[in-house]
Chains A and B, each alone.
Chain A
Amino acid sequence: NAGVTQTPKFQVLKTGQSMTLQCAQDMNHNSMYWYRQDPGMGLRLIYYSASEGTTDKGEVPNGYNVSRLNKREFSLRLESAAPSQTSVYFCASSEQQGRTEAFFGQGTRLTVV
């Protein structure tokens, strides 16, 4: 009964380093999302994948890339980390159709120094 699983939970990067955040869901959802959470700004959508084989930009995509590896897995990559990318990152999944809720992972707290 894992739901949405993210790894790692914490990460510290130096400016310019790269890393990939991993996400997997076991709810057979078609759609998956990456959000970032910053103080006073709520959650902002970075990228999403409406279904396997598709990805699209969200509200704040600059500096990120994504891969929908299969129906279960959706990864977020930072190619050259910047201090402005210090944030908490959440992966989520949902049904593709309808005005339904999303289910969230535990988050990754990323600090770029």
Chain B
Amino acid sequence: GDSVTQMEGPVTLSEEAFLTINCTYTATGYPSLFWYVQYPGEGLQLLLKATKADDKGSNKGFEATYRKETTSFHLEKGSVQVSDSAVYFCALSEGMLTGGGNKLTFGTGTQLKVEL
């Protein structure tokens, strides 16, 4: 079945450092890929997405490129801020659940802590 593997956290960085959070996936078909962010005490918010190979999703300075050849969707940001401290989830949507609806598969999440 589908699966998503993310790097273990927590990841602790100094402000203005470069961020990479690795994500690889296993899917039988051709999924859409997502990064969600969860700030403390809040729900998941869609950060960016990509729907086909070589697509680059970007938002708020974060980027991720859909790499079909390596089945990866790594999240990057050139200069992190304290306000980026959150948990980041990689996810894929490949097909339909029984009876309809989107089947979303999530990674376990990576906590990012950014310090001054």
Contact = CB atoms under 8 A, between A and B. Distances in A.
Chain B interface size band reads: 20 to 34
Contacts of B97: 48, 50, 56, 58
Interface stretch (B14-22, B60-68, B73-81, B106-114): B106-114
A94 interface: yes
B24 interface: no
B69 interface: no
A12 interface: no
A99 B51 CA distance: 8
A104 B93 contact: no
Contacts of A42: 4, 89, 106-109
Contacts of B32: 99-101
Indicate the size class of the contact surface on chain A: 20 to 34
B108 A40 contact: yes
Most buried by B among A33, A96, A99, A102: A99
A101 B93 contact: yes
Interface hub of A30, A31, A92, A101 (most chain B Cβ within 10 A): A101
Interface of B: 4, 31-32, 34, 36, 42-46, 49, 51, 89, 93-102, 104, 106-109
Interface of A: 4, 30-31, 33, 40-43, 45, 48-51, 54, 56, 58, 90, 92, 94-107
